[in-house]
Amino acid sequence: MTTDLAQHLAERLQATLPFLDRVTGLARVHERTIMDGDTPRSERLPVPAAYTAAECERDGRYLTPDEHTGSIVFFEDGGEISTGQGQATQREATLRLLLWLNPFKLSHALPQNRLQAEVEQALSVRRRFDTGDYRGLFITTSTLPAGAALLSAYSFGGGTTPLLYPPYQLLGLELKCRYQYAPACLLPALPTLDLDRTACLLPPASPIL
């Protein structure tokens, strides 16, 4: 369910914020080996979770910062738990939102505090709403420490790229998303056997003469 939820949130951001360029839902790590001169080097890049192996090889740097891209947004999966007692449909999902912004592609500067405020407003943080199969979705956020460490799980340019440092901007938010599944999203109960156990107690039918 976190995959679908992240996609819904990504679509809200894309539809609301005009400064966003490349936006995807959940991302995953794609590992590959590249040649650094004559030396092979392992590279870890974020790619959309829905990418096939062929797409990773063809467009593996889609979520990698570069000077030609205005911004990049993706989510990391922090898991999902049941909440409440006796309420099987209540869930809390944790997502990490990571945003990289290239100020040289903006018409004018966007201060960090306003960047965060606009993202949270687009996500309707602390305002209950319905979207897709999610009912009563309520999101709270925690701000993650800013800086290149936000993307330390990945190896952009061997970890030395200047694109992860000012004046480029990074925003990291941990999202706690509480919601209830719509009935259509729940799996039906498993079927049980409906046997007539008295049938084996009946005497065999008399043969017709």
Q: Is 117 helix (H, G, I), strand (E, B) or coil?
A: helix
Q: Is the pLDDT of residue 76 over 80?
A: yes
| Average confidence (pLDDT) over 111-135 | 94
Q: Is the pLDDT of residue 84 over 90?
A: no
Distance CA 120, CA 166 (A): 22
Q: Is the pLDDT of residue 204 over 70?
A: no
Q: Write out the two tokens for 81.
A: 């738990």
Distance CA 179, CA 89 (A): 8
**Cβ atoms within 10 Å, residue 91:** 20
Element (H, E) at 84: none
205 burial via Cβ count (<10 Å: 0-12, 13-18, 19+): exposed
Picking from 101, 80, 78, the residue whose alpha carbon sits closest to that of residue 90 is: 80
Per-residue confidence (pLDDT) for residue 73, from 0 to 100: 98
Ramachandran class of 136: left when φ > 0, alpha when ψ lies in -120 to 50, beta otherwise = left
Q: What band does 207 get if pLDDT is binned at 50, 70 and 90?
A: low
Picking from 114, 139, 174, the residue whose alpha carbon sits closest to that of residue 8 is: 139
Q: Is 6 helix (H, G, I), strand (E, B) or coil?
A: helix
Can you spell out the DSSP letters for 18-72?
Answer: TT--EEEEEEEEEEEEEEETTEEEEEEEEEETT--HHHHHHHTTTTS--TT-SEE
Q: Is the pLDDT of residue 118 over 60?
A: yes
Can you spell out the DSSP letters for 128-195?
Answer: -EEETTEEEEEEEEEEPPPSGGGGTTS-GGGGT-GGGSTTSEEEEEEEEEEEEE-GGGSPPPPP----
Domain edges within the chain: 2-185
Distance CA 9, CA 179 (A): 13
Per-residue confidence (pLDDT) for residue 57, from 0 to 100: 82
